[in-house]
Amino acid sequence: MGDSYAPVRLAAVQAAPVWLDRDATVAKACRLIEEAADHGAKIIGFPEGFIPGFPDWYQWFMPRSPQSIGFNKTLFKNAVEVPGAAVDRIAAAARKTHTHVVIGANERDQGTMGMLYNSQLFFGADGALLGVHQQADADLYRASRP
């Protein structure tokens, strides 16, 4: 018989963000973290692009259309910065509930006017930001080329 480990309860959040509203989505995420922890979850995972929403408008609008440009501007204005207030609020929820949290976010570089990443933020049960995995659009383009 091999090693034995204590069971761990995981929560996979299946919820919609508050569309293109960073602050309201972060508030919702914090409530969902508390709810999952109240049900015994120790590790809580959120979807890709949860904060402030996944940019799926390219399914309906051309990339340089006025609609896409408008959505892109709103997405950029509502993206998170690391470090930043939105990240601090998620960290506080992880610390308060003693849970590990992984959450997808659109992240922007501080001090830029256009660099966005599709990021995953990893928080420890003490609220520490353990890491950030960034995927830039340029990286996606290079990865898709033969």
CA angle 50, 56, 62 (to 5 degrees): 150
The tokens describing 128, both together, are 């520490």
Q: Round to whole Å and give the CA distance between 105 and 46.
A: 9
Q: Decide: helix, strand or coil at residue 122.
A: strand
Fold of the domain spanning 10-144: Nitrilase/N-carbamoyl-D-aminoacid amidohydrolase (3.60.110)
Q: Decide: helix, strand or coil at residue 83.
A: coil
Domain-wise residue ranges, the chain: 10-144
What is the residue-level pLDDT of the chain in tens, covering all 146 positions?
899 999 999 999 999 999 999 999 999 999 999 999 999 999 999 999 999 999 888 888 888 899 989 999 999 999 999 999 999 999 999 999 999 999 999 999 888 887 889 999 999 999 999 999 998 755 443 443 34
